[in-house]
């Protein structure tokens, strides 16, 4: 038995060699185990099923996998690198990311501890970081390095610390500085964000914690590595000999605008995640990166500004900033010039994300005849949204409470019910709503689950043209 991966673009596992009876559809890059050979076919185990595929349908090379998990309202991204390392960028507000990871690693049925090499908090909005709570405090995950944008909220009248001359003066860049602030319980109070960071430091003495800013290098993911995490923001300045961040408006606008901006590069492929950038930060970044004010330009100046902006921000796949909010600059949207945009948004929120005008602008400022727009919210059918209910979560709570007074025999039955209910919740989160991006730097595959049960995936292919630029291969 040997470890392999599904080849491009997908494979259908057949019940018998050459059979048309399909047991499972698997995507490029899915891990599989070879069980036996009957050339030209091999029997594999993949996605919890066994079946036969042609040997040419599997490969030995692991690719980059980027999963935009349906965390509801918010962002949550789980990355698997070609070296089989695990990275999280944001985790939404609820427990969806936690449930997804439990399903992904089958933690209900093993005792593994999963190493998370890097955990990146783009900024301190609850719909980006609060979902890390159960992950950080769980014994099943080992967090090796937490990254943040340098703004540490605390319990105080000025939640970001002192402000002077329109700058945030108390930027914390490393673990020692953060611990010095948060070891004082009154600085944490009952605020979730500082307590999350403090709990993570208390749990592990070896875990690292550091700020990401323009030009930061993440060890193992530099410009010469196979996968490069190109950090484009936030952009710091100097004031009174200190590293500072500019105030961009209200506290919410400021922390959103200074989101960590990550552009993943592998081969010719670029995928950008920009947190909750807003119009105020986009004006600031435009001036910083292009030298132009965002307003009052003639057409020649505007074209030059967009050219310079694209030299920095242009990407093939874009995670839409701020869940499809209307607070953006059209010209800055042109800087990204993506083929595909992925919007992470949820139900029961008052912002009406994604906004209709934003969807139109994304299409207008994307490249190709048919730009692609994906949405985690739309990827779930109405039926699947109703598949997990408040009643399920209430039942899970009651079952856990009933264990306290249960006999040994009753515990067995209760635990079985809990496992079955957790599986329902975790599988629904993992399967429906998630948008997955797979790439080796020469091809990009974007896929989502079809709404009908056991209907497999629908996928979209981005291929390289003769000039080394990606284009959308329209299905025939």
- pLDDT tens digits, one per residue of 176-205: 999 999 999 999 999 999 999 999 999 999
CA–CA separation, 300 and 265 (whole Å): 30
pLDDT at 217 over 80: yes
Q: In whole angstroms, how large is the CA radius of gyration of the chain?
A: 23
pLDDT at 1 over 80: no
Structural contact between residues 145 and 207, judged by C-beta atoms closer than 8 angstroms:
yes
CA–CA separation, 475 and 158 (whole Å): 54
Which class is domain 64-379? alpha beta
Structural contact between residues 144 and 118, judged by C-beta atoms closer than 8 angstroms:
yes
CA–CA separation, 277 and 322 (whole Å): 6
Confidence of residue 399 (pLDDT cuts 50, 70, 90): confident
Structural contact between residues 52 and 13, judged by C-beta atoms closer than 8 angstroms:
yes
CA–CA separation, 353 and 333 (whole Å): 17
Q: Could you tell me the CA-to-CA distances from 322 to 276, 338, 447 in Å, in that order?
A: 4, 16, 22
Residue 10 phi, psi (nearest 5): -165, 170
Per-residue confidence (pLDDT) for residue 428, from 0 to 100: 67
> What average pLDDT does the segment 381-396 reach?
57
**Each residue's pLDDT tens digit, 19-57:** 999 999 999 999 999 999 999 999 999 998 999 999 999
Confidence of residue 379 (pLDDT cuts 50, 70, 90): low
pLDDT at 219 over 80: yes
CA–CA separation, 325 and 333 (whole Å): 12
**Each residue's pLDDT tens digit, 129-157:** 999 999 999 999 999 999 999 999 999 88
CA–CA separation, 86 and 78 (whole Å): 7
pLDDT at 452 over 80: no
pLDDT at 327 over 80: no
Task: Supply the CATH classification number for the domain 1-61.
Answer: 2.30.30.40
Mean pLDDT score of the chain: 90
Per-residue confidence (pLDDT) for residue 72, from 0 to 100: 80
Global pTM? 0.91
Of 159, 132, 137, 134, whose CA–CA distance to 148 is shortest? 132
């Amino acid at each position: 038995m040997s470890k392999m991966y599904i080849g491009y673009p997908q494979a259908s596992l057949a019940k018998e060699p050459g059979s048309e009876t399909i047991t499972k559809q698997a995507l490029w890059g899915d891990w599989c185990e070879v069980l036996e050979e009957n050339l030209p076919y091999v029997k594999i185990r993949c996605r919890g099923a066994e079946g036969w595929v042609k040997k040419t349908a599997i490969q030995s090379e692991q690719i980059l996998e980027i999963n935009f998990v349906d965390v509801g309202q918010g962002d949550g991204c789980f990355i698997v690198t070609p070296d089989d390392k695990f990275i999280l960028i944001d985790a939404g507000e609820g427990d969806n990311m936690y449930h997804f990871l439990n399903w992904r690693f089958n933690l209900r049925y093993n005792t593994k501890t999963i190493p998370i090499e890097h955990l990146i908090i783009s900024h301190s909005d609850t719909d980006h970081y609060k979902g890390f709570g159960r992950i950080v405090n769980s014994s099943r995950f080992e967090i090796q390095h937490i990254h943040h944008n340098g703004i540490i909220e605390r319990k105080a009248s000025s939640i970001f610390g002192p402000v002077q001359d329109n700058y945030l003066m108390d930027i914390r860049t490393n673990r020692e500085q953060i611990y010095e602030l948060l070891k004082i319980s009154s600085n944490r109070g009952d605020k979730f964000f500082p307590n999350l960071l403090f709990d993570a430091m208390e749990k592990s003495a070896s875990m690292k914690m550091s700020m990401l800013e323009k030009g930061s290098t993440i060890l193992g993911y530099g410009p010469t590595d196979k996968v490069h995490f190109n950090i484009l923001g936030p952009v710091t300045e100097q004031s009174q000999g200190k590293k500072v961040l500019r105030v961009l408006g209200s506290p919410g606008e400021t922390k959103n605008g200074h989101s960590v901006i990550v552009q993943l590069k592998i081969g010719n492929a670029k995928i950008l995640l920009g947190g909750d950038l807003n119009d105020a930060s986009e004006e600031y970044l435009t001036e910083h990166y292009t030298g132009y004010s965002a307003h009052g330009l003639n057409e020649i100046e505007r074209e030059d500004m967009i050219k310079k902006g694209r030299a920095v921000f242009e990407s093939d796949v874009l995670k839409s900033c701020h869940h499809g909010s209307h607070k953006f600059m059209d010209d800055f949207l042109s800087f990204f010039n993506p083929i595909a945009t992925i919007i992470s948004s949820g139900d029961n929120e008052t912002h009406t994300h994604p906004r209709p005008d934003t969807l139109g602008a994304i299409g207008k400022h994307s490249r190709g005849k048919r730009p692609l727009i994906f949405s985690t919210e739309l990827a779930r059918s109405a039926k699947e949204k109703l598949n997990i209910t408040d009643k399920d979560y209430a039942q899970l709570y009651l079952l856990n409470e009933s264990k306290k007074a249960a006999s040994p025999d009753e515990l067995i039955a209760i635990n079985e019910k809990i496992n079955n209910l957790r599986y329902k919740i975790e599988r629904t989160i993992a399967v429906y709503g998630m948008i997955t991006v797979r790439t080796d730097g020469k091809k990009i595959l974007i896929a989502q689950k079809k709404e009908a049960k056991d209907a497999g995936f629908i996928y979209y292919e981005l291929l390289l043209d003769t000039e080394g630029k990606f284009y959308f291969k329209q299905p025939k």
